[in-house]
Structure 1
Amino acid sequence: MYALAQALRQLLRHPTASLATFFTALLSFALLHLMGLLLWNLDRVVESLERGLEVAAFLKDKADTEAILGEVQTWAEVRSVRLVTKEEALAELILDYPYLAQAKELVENPLPDTLRLTLAQPQAVREVAQRLKALPGVEEVEYGGELTERLLSVLAGFRLGMAVLGLLLLLNTLFSVMGTIRLSVESRKEAIAVMLLVGARRFFVQAPFIWEGVLLTSSAALLAALLSGLAYRFLAGGVQGLLPFLPVLAQKDVLRLSFGVLLLALFLGGGGAFFASRAHARA
């Protein structure tokens, strides 16, 4: 209790430095938390697209359907494959566009037999498409992998940018905490010297400063998690209103990331305060 009381007293003794550190940490943790939520959500979107990824191979009129089907079923990247005959494809098209039923008897069915593949390894979609094109009897191959590949590129760039920005924000918070603690140490230099002379242990001397750093960063992290969580919910609600099929993070996922930010805040606050006060706590 002594260390906690001293930490609170020191925070009030230097309100300007304490508030500057608090708001620096608040901005850093809010940005980190919100970027983490968005990145995690983007991961979920890519996973959802990959699970629903399908490759369509359109066959020539005289293609050996059974041979092609048997070959594709042996590929390790393929989870399942089904044959959609031209008659089935036309029936599905008429269900979507009933007015085509009138033209059914007037013109020959122009649709080809089609193999539809779902993949066990979605990242191999381009390779599978190229192998399909090389099979005799396959006229054309289509797949939705282009969008997924672009999203993966965006995700990789976002991860890199987040890592650089996150590192800068964390360093800024760490140095801000260390500066505030050094100010507190300087103001109590004489009291620290007396405690060391009478035999106080180093941890006893450092404990109030460590508590000070922890209080600054943990309070900022809690408020940051609350604000960024609300901002994420607002953004996710707006996106789902426009695109209801896109997945969003559950409340438990937001809380898990908030807990991770709080642990990071405790580490930065306690670690920064420890290193800032270490030199003055030596006997």
Structure 2
Amino acid sequence: MYALAQALRAFKRHPTSALATFTTATVSFALLFLVGLVLWNLDRVIATIQSEVEVVAFLQDGTAPEALLAEVRRWPEVREARFVSKEEALATLQLDYPYLAQASSLIENPLPHTLHLQLTDPAQVRQVAERLARMPGVADVEYGGEITERLIRLLHGLRVGANVLMLLLVLDTFFSVMGTIRLSIENRREELRIMLLVGATRQFVQAPFLLEGLLLTLSAALIALALGNLAYRAVSEAVQELLPFVPVLSREDLLAASASLLLLSTFIGYFGAWLSSRSHMQDSEI
């Protein structure tokens, strides 16, 4: 009770500093939460894109597909390989364009036999495509590699930038907490010196400052989570209406992200307050 009372009293002693730290922490945690969710979504998007990467080999007329299919299935990079005949390809095309069914009886099927490869590691798509193109009986290979690789590089670049931003936000909040605790110690410097002289332990003296740091960061994190969850749900619903194929995070994912932010805010508040109070009390010889 003593520690809690002193922590609350500290907010009254320096409300401007406490409010500045609280505001900084709230904004930082809200941005941290949203950026973290965006990163998580980017990972889902990258995984979805990579899982759909497919190498398609167009076979020359007269090529025996069985031997070629057996060969590529032995490659360690290939997760799945299947043969699609020209008749099957035409039937699939006619499902999308029904009017082709009438023309198919008038002209010969122009489509080639194809092999469709899915890889264990989509990052190796270019190497597999080049290797497949050199095989006898393969007329051409397509995999949409350049577009896919550029998109994945772009998403990875965004991920690196977001990680840097998250680190800066954490450091900003951490040093704000340290500054507030140092000010609290300065305001009670003589009182703390007397408490130590009459036998109070340093742990007892530090407890109010640790609780002050925790109260600042946890309260800021709770408000940031409320705002962040509302913002993410609104944006994700709008994205799903426009781009329903883009994956979004579930309620369980949001709960996990919220719990992670609460743990992080607890660490920042406690460790920042502990480090600041410990170092400042030693420097001031309290």
**TM-score category by the smaller chain?**
over 0.9
Letter in 2 for 1:222: L
- The answer to which of 94-103 and 116-125 deviates more is 116-125
Kindly state the Cα deviation for residue 121 of structure 1 after the two structures are TM-superposed. Answer: 2.3
Partner in structure 2 of residue 207 of structure 1: 207
Q: Structure 2 counterpart of 1:123, which letter?
A: A
Does residue 223 (structure 1) correspond to residue 223 (structure 2)? The answer is: yes
Alpha-carbon RMSD: 1.5
Q: Separation in 2 of the partners of 1:102 and 1:251?
A: 49
The 8 Å contact of residues 182 and 276 in structure 1, kept in 2 or not, is answered as: yes
Q: What do the CA deviations read for 1:29-88 (whole angstroms, capped 9, x no partner)?
A: 111110110110111111122222222111111223222111111111212211111111
3-state SS, counterpart of residue 79 of structure 1: strand
Tell me the CA shift for residue 215 of structure 1: 0.5
Does 2:281 align with 1:280?
A: yes
Q: Which residue of 1 aligns with 2:40?
A: 40
* CA distance in structure 2 between the partners assigned to 1:224 and 1:145 by the alignment: 40
Quote the Cα distance in structure 2 between the aligned partners of 1:267 and 1:70: 56
**Aligned residue pairs: how many?**
283
Sequence identity of aligned pairs in percent?
A: 60
Counting only pairs closer than 5 Å after superposition, residues 1-283 of structure 1 correspond to structure 2 as: 1-278=1-278, 279-280=280-281
Bigger mean CA deviation after superposition, 3-12 or 138-147: 138-147
Pairwise CA distance, 1:17: 0.8
User: Is 1:28–1:170's contact at 8 Å kept on the other side of the alignment?
Assistant: yes
For structure 1, which segment, 50-59 or 186-195, has the greater mean C-alpha deviation from structure 2 after superposition? 50-59
Partner Cα separation in structure 2 for residue 73 and residue 277 of structure 1: 64
Mapped to 2, the partners of 1:21 and 1:247 lie a distance apart of 35
Measured after TM superposition, the shift of residue 194 of structure 1 is 0.8
Task: Give the C-alpha shift of residue 263 in structure 1.
Answer: 1.3
Q: Is the 8 A contact 1:39 1:155 kept in 2?
A: no
TM-score (ref. length: structure 1): 0.95
Work out the CA distance in 1 between the residues paired with 2:76 and 2:274.
Answer: 54
- 1:122 & 1:156 partners in 2: Cα distance? 14
TM-score, length basis structure 2: 0.94
- One-letter amino acid matched to 1:42: L
Shift of 1:147: 4.0
